[in-house]
Structure 1
Amino acid sequence: MTSRLVHIGVHDAANKNAGDTLLYEVTRRAFEQALGPIEWLLHQQWQIFDEETAQKINADFDGIVIGGGGVFLRDQAGADIQNSGWQWNSTIAAVKAISVPIILYATGYNRFRGQEDFPPVFTSHINAVYEKAPFFSLRNTGSMRAIERYLDPCPNREVRRQFCPTTLIWQLYPRHRAMAEGYDSSGQRRLAVNAAFDRPHLRFGADQDLELDRLAEAMKKAQDQGWAILNVCHKDLDQQFEPHLKRAGVDFQRTDITNLSPGGIMAFYASVDAAIGMRGHAQLIPFGLRRPIFSIISHDKMAYFLQDIGHPEWGAEITDPALGDRILAFLSGLQKDPEDIRAKLASAQTACWQETERNFERIRSVL
């Protein structure tokens, strides 16, 4: 039997961010693979969700899926947080009017280091959602602990971990898995690098130029060792890294995936040998395709993910004076023993999938 679900997210590439362009499609694919045929109604999370909307959904649908993505953020461009304090633009009265199950799926606590706390309405709103959500999940343990500070005890409710669906591409998209497997025998050495430039005052330390120059100099050394450098832009503003690459003498290729289709984004990451990234999805997507990753940590969520998969060594703080040396050591290890890191990647990625399968047993029981 076909289920009818509402998917609240950022649809149709509304915020011009490659990670989100892919994420919401992959989320639906995960549900369809686990639960069977689904008829979806796509609702933009920034669009007002009021009591009238809730009543219509109660009458016509079996449940509401919210997420994934970094929805717990107060300052996203295009969002109105007056009603909720976070990215879902719904009133508390509307949430309380919902009578079908809410599935909060693989969401992220995206508050930056040093960023202002959520407004007072957030605590009341997220508790209203918690009461209505028999499956309430965040995409890493650090996000779980952070959101739990706002939650009151609620009978028969718990905060669960559900990894971002983009970490599951290997199992969900056989065609792109085959592309990645085929690429591995091509003998190329393509290194993707991504630097993020949203909220730079919250991302970087005391000397942004120094930190980015340090990263660019590492790319120059990698190029001198035979790597082809691809500057990957998930948003157009990520091109701001290029003056640093030019200053370091890097002969790089710009790969702007801002406007690519979901399939195009996966095809790109299937054809790299490793990915160094500052944006979350510049790491989660290649991980989902079992590409070696090294995270440039300018947001806690990057470290949270590495801790959860048991490989904190696959990353370094943007402020670390030894950042360049650590990247080069990672690349050296990859070149010397690629099978070792591929085995570790396969084990970690498989664990994400197995946890997802267990979570869908719970979701299946409440829908």
Structure 2
Amino acid sequence: MLGKIWKALRTDPAGFPARAASAAAERGRLRAFRLKGMPAGGVVHYGVHRNGNAGDTALFTATRQLFDTRFGPQNWTRLPVRSAVAASDIDRINARAKAVVVGGGGLIIPDSVSGSLSGWQWNIAIEDLRRLERPLVLNAVGYNNFHGQSGFAERFAEHVVETVRKSVFVGLRNTGSIRSLSEHLPPELAAKLRHQPCPTTVLSHLMPDVVSAPATGRHLSINLAYDRVERRFNGRVEECVKDIADAARHMADKGWRVTVAIHDPRDRFFLPLLRRFGLGFDVVDIAHAGVPAIVKFYLSTDLTIGMRGHGQMVPFGLKRPIFTLSSHPKMNYFLEDIGRTDWGVDIREPGFRDELIAGMEGVAADPDQTRATIVAAQDRIWALMQDNLALCAQVF
């Protein structure tokens, strides 16, 4: 624990108090659940319910909004997905809960939870999973392995089969995740997997009173992701950042104002590099922000280029143009599913600068057409989600 605290202090000294307070609140909710239980007929939501990553903050909130919008306000009990589930937790859930929702987010990844009881991020032993009597819903969960990442622990194979078998609904956030997870399942269980995009991709439907018409401006937002940096950049960090800085400077020379958005404190690593390569920019730190501040920032953008999944899905969900800096398979999965693989460039390949410039200029050249494309894709996603939620109606 002391090692984690020291690392957090070194990585993000300014944000440490907010991050620590949010983490303490998450632990407090778990303690309260174990001491006092939960309201009868409530819904347990296993997720990352603390600040420190803007994407997590937005997606888990949007998940609850999605169910509340369709089925009316639910009485939610938020529990941390990465903390080990105790046998007594299952007893409480069986006695009081209406349902259990797990997700969304890239929970299917082998190394994010040290010593995970399941081999993935939902940290529950298979024996306790089998004892769960309440309906289980997996919503917009992602298969999240990075390029070149090793396989799962041996326990994962049995656990994921049991999870899918037990679930009343298994929604994966992209069809690429469906393909990847299907390889771990027998055909009859693979057939249960449904495409359920992340609720952040339809924020304009979940909060229509907030999403405004776009201003006609030139505000370029950039998000670069530092975690697992060698896998993301294929060992070419400085070369890739230089190409991104050069491309952004090209847009700045045409009158675009550039902002670097910090989704995770570790993303600050790139600020000195971008400056060294001659890019001038503002910095907006939304790592510890609440959903209103995250939404407000992305509503101010006219084009976002980003490496994080939610650094693209959130502005897309707010009807703001995007262009993807692809460094992870999930980024391509999202573009495939909206039918716009041309809205991205693989930064792991050398010499992508000119392709990035052309892509940004192409998206920005006709903002009305770009917006129409986004709206049409969102409407398809929303209709798909409504069909999927109909399958959960008997639970909620």
Alpha carbons 2:105, 2:140 under 8 Å: kept: yes
Task: Give the letter for the 1:35 counterpart.
Answer: F
Q: 1:98 to 1:148 in 2, by over 3 A?
A: same
For 2:189 and 2:156, how far apart are their aligned partners in 1?
20
Answer yes or no: is the 8 Å Cα contact 2:104–2:141 preserved in 1: yes
- Runs of 4+ deviating beyond 6 Å: none
Instruction: Indicate the residue corresponding to 2:344 in structure 1.
Output: 315
User: Does the CA-based 8 Å contact 1:217-1:245 persist in structure 2?
Assistant: no
Structure 2 contact 84–116 (Cα < 8 Å) conserved = no
Contact 1:80/1:89 (CA < 8 Å) preserved in 2?
Answer: no
Residue in structure 2 matched with residue 25 of structure 1 by the alignment: 61
Contact persistence 1:131–1:157 (CA under 8 A): no
Which residue does 1:114 correspond to in 2? 148
Q: 1:207 to 1:12 in 2, by over 3 A?
A: closer
Q: CA deviation at 1:3?
A: 5.0
Residues 330-349 of structure 1 correspond to what in structure 2 (within 5 A)?
330-349=359-378
**Residues 6 and 65 in structure 1, CA contact (< 8 A), matched pair in contact too:** yes
| TM-superposed deviation, 1:127 | 1.0
User: What are the ranges of 5 or more consecutive residues in structure 1 without an aligned counterpart?
Assistant: none
SS of 1:130 mapped into structure 2: helix
Residue 58 of structure 1: which of 78, 90, 94 is its match? Answer: 94
Question: What is the Cα deviation at residue 12 of structure 1?
Answer: 2.4
Distance 1:84 1:337, change over 3 A: same
**C-alpha displacement at 1:322, in angstroms?**
4.5
Q: Which residue matches 2:200?
A: 166
The 1-side partners of 2:256 and 2:88 are apart by 56
- Aligned partner (choices 196, 204, 209) of residue 225 of structure 2: 196
- Give the Cα separation in 2 of the matches to 1:9 and 1:269: 23
Residue matched to 1:149: 183
Paired residues, what number?
A: 357
Match of 1:243, SS state, is helix
Determine if contact 1:220/1:248 at 8 Å carries over to the other structure.
no
Distance 1:121 1:191, change over 3 A: same
- Offset at residue 342 of structure 1 (A): 1.1
Deviation string for 1:224-268 (max 9, x for gaps)? 011111011101111122223212221100111111111110111
Distance apart, 1:156 and its partner CA: 10
* CA RMSD between the two structures: 1.6
Matches of 1:157 and 1:224 in 2, distance apart?
51
Distance 1:333 1:156, change over 3 A: closer
The two structures have a TM-score, normalised by structure 1, of: 0.93
Residue correspondence of structure 1 range 295-306 to structure 2 within 5 A: 295-306=324-335
| Structure 2 counterpart of 1:245, from 274, 279, 283 | 274
CA distance in 2, matches of 1:70, 1:332: 31
Most deviating of 232-241 and 115-124: 232-241
1:89 aligns with 2:118: no
Identity rate, percent: 37
Q: CA deviation at 1:333?
A: 2.5
1:121-161 alpha-carbon deviations (Å, 9 max, x no partner): 00111111111101011100001111111113447960001
1:55, distance to aligned residue in structure 2 (A): 2.0
